Amino acid sequence: MSEEWLNFVNDPRTTCKYGAKCYQKNPEHHKNYKHPPQGYQKKIKNIKHKNKGVQPYTITKKHSDKDPTKKLVPSPSQDFSVNKQEKKNDDSEKEEEKKNSSLVTLDENCLFYDKTEDNKLFKELFLVEMPPDFFQFYKCISEEPSVEQTLASVNLQLIGPYDLLLGRLPMLDNKDFYLIHWRFFYDPPEFQAVLKKKGESGFHIGYFRDDPNKKPEFMATNDCSKDCHIHPVADNIFGAVYCYLQNEKKTSPFMSMACQKLMDKVKKWANEHKFSLDEYNIKKRVSQTVAKTLHGAGIVVPYNKKTELGYRPLVESNANLKKLFAKLESSTSKNEKDDILSQIQPVITYASIAMDECDFGTGLEIGIDLFCSGLKELEANAVASLTSAYSLLNRDAFGKIAQVHLKHRRKGSDMSIF
């Protein structure tokens, strides 16, 4: 059956939206659309109602788990075996090196991009366009003698795409690195950081998009030194900064005056240019999402309520997934890891089948959850699920970001590539 499954997955034809339930007998329909192998509908029910009874599928791997940028087949045959050659000491040393080293070394002849507001260049380098409030905020701060000093007075600094506006973004031959410039450990492809708290803090502020081709849904914060949780805060960057300043103002009497001064400026500019300073409406977000996900910001995918096509829940709750991830992280032996991985495998198997039956949101949910675990053992499966789901949802830019991020994923507070 595994051969039939691989043939089905690799078939370039469009997947029939009715999957194994398709009643069409028209030869022309079967010529244009592919259908899952017979018998898989029964397997789905078994996975859903008898999770523990499902055994992981096995297949000889053709790609190394160490390079998640290689194309992986999002099928039930993904193997979770732990590489015997990976020693804990070696891993920790490599992680430490990753944490403390820049990805790009600049020489004295390096050229830099000119300061620009050309959204075509932002799209070329970061695969997304920046919204109007992004540029307006820079103009607002630029009225001060020094942009960097003004923000430093309230413990903030501009990062990521703002380096292009500041004229300090180097021209690189490998443009993939721009996708992870100031991309923190727990930042999913949907989240793009543009501000961070100065120093060793992992707190950062960024735009959250559900679709790389559409405007951001909201501004959010995350502290990568704590967890993967994403907190929606405002509709635009003015509201997000204003909220930050309100909180920062309370931390010290020395900060109060600087925060109040910038708050007044931000409020005046926002009012003049009609940007809301209100907090983000969480209820609005809840009504849009099909699943909450482990990072809490949820996912939005096309979903037909009548046919229930587009998403189906995972076979494990978020609470149970968290427990499994925690056990995997604390496991000390190969047998222990293999046992936990075999419990996670059916969840991914089910999500893979769901994607092949046009419930793309399920594949995106498991991909995001595996990414949020932060575990090396799950990275290959995370990138496989994410790239497949993003491709099926026509969000290929996010798939590319996920591939590059997981290839160069680093911990720490300084996520500049140079």
Residues assigned a catalytic role: 357
Token pair, residue 178, equals 């721009």
Do residues 241 and 195 lie in contact, with contact meaning Cβ atoms separated by under 8 Å? yes
User: In terms of C-beta density within 10 A (0-12 exposed, 13-18 middle, 19 or more buried), how is residue 401 classed?
Assistant: buried
Which of 237, 264, 260 is closest to 250 using CA atoms?
Answer: 260
Instruction: Give, to the nearest 10 degrees, the angle between helix 396-407 and helix 379-392.
Output: 170
Residues near 84 by beta carbon (within 8 Å), at least 6 away in sequence: 334
Do residues 396 and 189 lie in contact, with contact meaning Cβ atoms separated by under 8 Å? no
Torsion angles phi and psi, residue 43, rounded to 5: -65, -35
Alpha-carbon distance of 22 to 32, in angstroms, equals: 13
Q: Looking at this protein, which amino acid is placed at residue 127?
A: L
Do residues 416 and 170 lie in contact, with contact meaning Cβ atoms separated by under 8 Å? no
What residues form DSSP beta bridges with 304? 309
What residues form DSSP beta bridges with 158? 195
